[in-house]
Amino acid sequence: MLKYLEQQLAERDAQSLRRHRRIAETACAPQQTVTSHDGQRCELLAFCSNDYLGLSNHPLLIEALADGARLYGAGSGASHLISGHSRAHALLEEDLAEMLSPQGPELNVLTFCTGYMANMALLTALGDAQTTIYTDLLNHASLIDGARLARAAVFTYPHNDLVGLERRIAGCSTPRKLIVTDGVFSMDGDLAHLPELLALAERHDAYLVVDDAHGFGVLGAQGRGVPSHFGLRSERMICMGTLGKAAGVAGAFVAAHRTVIDWLVQSARAYIYTTASPPAVAHAVSASLRLIRAEEGEWRRRHLAELVAAFRRGVPEVLGDLLSTRGWRLAPSQTAIQPLIVGSSEQALAMSAALESKGLWVPAIRPPTVPSGSARLRITLSAAHGPGDVERLLSALAWAGKGI
């Protein structure tokens, strides 16, 4: 086996697909000290976190995490159904339910240790042998894996192809149908066509699962996410969101009709058979929700939108010719995820390395994370960035692009 694995690793090296981790010596922030895999230590201006509101290092959240540990200790000690379900978890579920159903308690909420687990839990608990799961080609890996593990039949439709989806779903032979989509697509930054998807679900008696990992906290009134951005509410919709991205801490939630939540508690293995997250984490997330919903969250969302607009205005100005001669393109995204699609893994890596030599941390995303031939720089902006950071990024992109 070792020999085989070494061959596989060598193949990845040869194709520029080998991944390496960096060690962050300092907190998640635009300015970070990192150590690379060859031991080099440097200061980088980072455009790669999903900490969209810049809350992960917020003094109030650090304080809340410490308070939570003083109140509830360091660990939960057991799974939720044994003895690990603390008051902090219960309060967080109430806070999320109240935030997401402002017109009254129509949604119930269940929290999870991670978004990956929430998706595994959700799709395996709902996707039984009498169900067909319809999943967008560009959905997140955790949705793909959840669908694989479920007993349901799975049909993958081309990205946002609602016509193909409807044709397929009209001929569905199982009694239950689940349409599954990212709210904001994580490697492209574009939005799912949620109103149309929900209407389609209604026409065909299907349910709609929305993974709002990149919308929650950022989009919609008070950061309620993509469903709120589109003004959608329906008991057909099951919304999953993560709490380690814009919310700045860790964990995830599923918000849905009470019956769905009751069923998950009874049957979702990724919920039942794992130790509950530290209560202090839930305590800190509750503090984060207060920030997200308050004026502080408002200005952070406004500031982020301004940075996104400045970046999108700047790219054609600084990269102009390169875009047309090389066939590079800025993905049509209005969110904090701003991918520059360059195509080949080698070019994406070379750009990333050139940017790093200028002190910028912009990751190259390669297959299999994205379809082959669509390697990209996945640039993410955060409310913790300033306008000067975006200017620095733009001029470094122009410089690096000329040298490739």
Ligand X SMILES: *Cc1c(COP(=O)(O)O)cnc(C)c1O
Interface with ligand X, residue 253, by CB under 6 A: no
Pick the closer one to ligand X by CB: 190 or 356.
190
Pick the closer one to ligand X by CB: 114 or 374.
114
* Element counts in the chain: helices (H) and strands (E): 14, 15
Residue range at the interface with ligand X (CB under 6 A); choices 19-27, 30-38, 113-121, 278-286: 113-121
Residue range at the interface with ligand X (CB under 6 A); choices 36-44, 71-79, 211-219, 384-392: 211-219
Least CB distance to ligand X at residue 140 (A): 3
Interface with ligand X, residue 380, by CB under 6 A: no
Pick the closer one to ligand X by CB: 114 or 382.
114
356: helix, coil or strand? helix
Q: Considering only residues 182, 188, 356, 389, which one is a binding residue for ligand X as defined by CB under 6 A? A: 182
CA angle 207, 111, 102 (to 5 degrees): 70
CA angle 347, 46, 359 (to 5 degrees): 70
Residue range at the interface with ligand X (CB under 6 A); choices 65-73, 111-119, 313-321, 343-351: 111-119
With residues binned 3-state (H G I as helix, E B as strand, rest as coil), the percentages for the chain, rounded to 5, are 45, 20, 35
Compute CA 257 distance to the chain's CA centroid, rounded to the nearest angstrom: 23
Q: Considering only residues 76, 160, 181, 186, which one is a binding residue for ligand X as defined by CB under 6 A? A: 186
Interface with ligand X, residue 244, by CB under 6 A: yes
Interface with ligand X, residue 252, by CB under 6 A: yes
Pull the structure tokens for residue 204.
Answer: 């065909």
Query: H helices of 127-272, where?
Result: 141-149, 162-170, 194-203, 226-229, 258-267, 269-272
The count of chain residues that interact with ligand X, using the rule CB under 6 A, is 14
Pick the closer one to ligand X by CB: 95 or 136.
136
Distance CA 294, CA 222 (A): 7
Say if residue 170 is exposed, middle or buried (CB neighbours under 10 Å; 0-12, 13-18, 19+): exposed
Distance CA 391, CA 47 (A): 13
Pick the closer one to ligand X by CB: 115 or 225.
115
Query: Please, what is the end-to-end C-alpha distance for the chain in angstroms?
Result: 38
Write each residue from 122 to 141 as x if it is in contact with ligand X (CB under 6 A), else as -, in one continuous string.
Answer: ------------------x-
Q: Which residue is nearest to ligand X (CB)?
A: 115
Q: Identify the CA nearest to 213 among candidates 380, 46, 44, 92.
A: 380
Residue range at the interface with ligand X (CB under 6 A); choices 6-14, 72-80, 108-116, 347-355: 108-116
Pick the closer one to ligand X by CB: 111 or 345.
111
Q: Identify the CA nearest to 379 among candidates 42, 43, 49.
A: 49
Structure-token match 């997401």, residue found: 100
Pick the closer one to ligand X by CB: 142 or 352.
142
Q: Considering only residues 76, 108, 160, 242, which one is a binding residue for ligand X as defined by CB under 6 A? A: 242
Least CB distance to ligand X at residue 186 (A): 4
Handedness of CA 318, 246, 26, 63 (dihedral sign): positive
Least CB distance to ligand X at residue 115 (A): 2
CA atoms within a 13 Å half-sphere pointing along the CA-CB vector of 186:
26
Residues between 138 and 157 that touch ligand X (CB under 6 A):
140, 142
Pick the closer one to ligand X by CB: 250 or 360.
250
Distance CA 387, CA 80 (A): 44
Interface with ligand X, residue 114, by CB under 6 A: yes
Interface with ligand X, residue 181, by CB under 6 A: no
Interface with ligand X, residue 52, by CB under 6 A: no
**Do the strands 31-35 and 41-46 form a parallel or antiparallel pair, or are they unpaired?**
antiparallel
Pick the closer one to ligand X by CB: 49 or 347.
49
Least CB distance to ligand X at residue 70 (A): 25
Distance CA 372, CA 206 (A): 32
Q: Which residues bind ligand X (CB under 6 A)?
A: 114-116, 119, 140, 142, 182, 186, 211, 213-214, 242, 244, 252
